[in-house]
Structure 1
Amino acid sequence: MSHLDYKLLIFDWDGTLANSIGRIVESMHMASTRSGFEQCSDFAVKGIIGLGLPEAIRALYPEIGDAELIAFRNHYADHYIALEATPSPLFEGVAQSLDAFRAEGYHLAVATGKARRGLDRVLKAHGWEDYFDITRAADETASKP
């Protein structure tokens, strides 16, 4: 097979495959309150989904200091992980669509703003530990975009 025959589809996780948008917004709001920052609008929070968490926080709160960022990130992660005790559901048709793409010869990948630990957790929760050919998490490379 030449490189021209290689078909690859790359998906984001949050808001693309998994319906986790509400949990992300809720967790960001909770973290901002606990960190002493004014809450951003839901629209603003939705606009940073897909970025790595530090980049997302800095985009919403450019004035945040390094120590504040660490505390904010911890508040966010603690709340989000608690919500994810029951994993965010996949959007309707995602599993069937991915299976259809694979049957058509596509290789499948995930590139996410989640840390590796978070990505591994959600893949395991959905029984997809070995489903994707390639996965890349925010703490393994530069943040998107």
Structure 2
Amino acid sequence: MTLKNNKFEMVIWDWDGTIMNSTPTIVECMQQSCRDLGMPVPSDQIASHVIGLGIIESIRIAMPTVAEADYPLVLERFRHYYLGKDHELTMFEGIRELLSDLKANGHILAVATGKPRVGLNRSLNNHQLDDYFHDSRTADETRSKPNPQMLLELMEKWAIPAHKIVMIGDTTHDLKMAKSAGVSAIAMSYGAHSAEELLAHQPLACFSKVEDLRHFLLS
């Protein structure tokens, strides 16, 4: 299919906090896991800050006093709570329609997420989004954000130059990853990190509404 808009050939999406309105749920599950285990409970700010990183890196930063030997306990508790709520999560309004129109417009769509593969596949299936994406990378398959490996692998596989790729995310981890890979980045301020934090990393644009993102990508 011929691309109708030549601004970007490939649009790469973060998942949690960008496509899925999951930030409050992740924070709640992380905090409840710590309460169950009698561990220090991270604040909302700290818990939301690590969203987008791989799970091990998230624990290391948000729960610095937890011994590495206890990480499996935290993981087990987190998964227990998250799996109980995963099916209740919803996409941000307008995302499905935007993904559909971008694909119809000829863009290659991909996901680069801190979720593990099993978690991403479950969410794709739960929300019937499998057919929208051409490719994806997860933190348990490559290096965790902000390392650029996810983007570099996608760039190489699809033979698309950096200037024809844009990364869309709601965290500074996404923006740092994009910068390291040499690709453009668009920040969405409705997720885990504030507009002020995101703008400090000088994204191509920062939007608070999917409607504004749609206008930027398709107009």
TM-score of the aligned structures, taking structure 1 as reference length: 0.90
Aligned to 1:143: 144
Return the alpha-carbon distance in structure 1 between the equivalents of residues 136 and 88 of structure 2: 19
Aligned to 2:106: 105
Aligned to 2:51: 49
Aligned to 1:94: 95
* Corresponding position: 1:10 with 2:12: yes
Residue 14 of structure 1 aligns with an amino acid whose one-letter code is D
Aligned to 1:134: 135
Aligned-pair distance for 1:63? Answer: 2.8
Aligned-pair distance for 1:101? Answer: 1.6
Q: Which runs of 5+ in 2 are unaligned?
A: 1-5, 147-219
Aligned-pair distance for 1:103? Answer: 2.4
Return the alpha-carbon distance in structure 1 between the equivalents of residues 135 and 8 of structure 2: 13
Aligned to 2:37: 35
SS of aligned partner of 1:139: coil
Aligned-pair distance for 1:6? Answer: 7.4
Superposed CA RMSD: 1.8
CA deviations over 1:47-75 (Å, ceiling 9, x no partner): 11111111111111223222211111111
Aligned to 2:81: 79
TM-score of the aligned structures, taking structure 2 as reference length: 0.61
Q: Which runs of 5+ in 1 are unaligned?
A: none
Structure with bigger strand share is 2
Check the 8 A contact 1:32/1:39 in 2, yes or no.
Answer: yes
Return the alpha-carbon distance in structure 1 between the equivalents of residues 131 and 69 of structure 2: 37
Return the alpha-carbon distance in structure 2 between the equivalents of residues 139 and 38 of structure 1: 26
Return the alpha-carbon distance in structure 1 between the equivalents of residues 14 and 37 of structure 2: 28
Return the alpha-carbon distance in structure 1 between the equivalents of residues 132 and 33 of structure 2: 32
Residue 82 of structure 1 aligns with an amino acid whose one-letter code is G
Return the alpha-carbon distance in structure 2 between the equivalents of residues 118 and 64 of structure 1: 24
Aligned to 2:118: 117
Structure 1's consecutive aligned runs of 4 or more residues displaced over 6 angstroms after TM superposition are none
Check the 8 A contact 2:103/2:132 in 1, yes or no.
Answer: no
Structure scoring higher RCO (CA < 8 A, sep ≥ 6) equals: 1
SS of aligned partner of 2:132: coil
Check the 8 A contact 2:17/2:23 in 1, yes or no.
Answer: yes
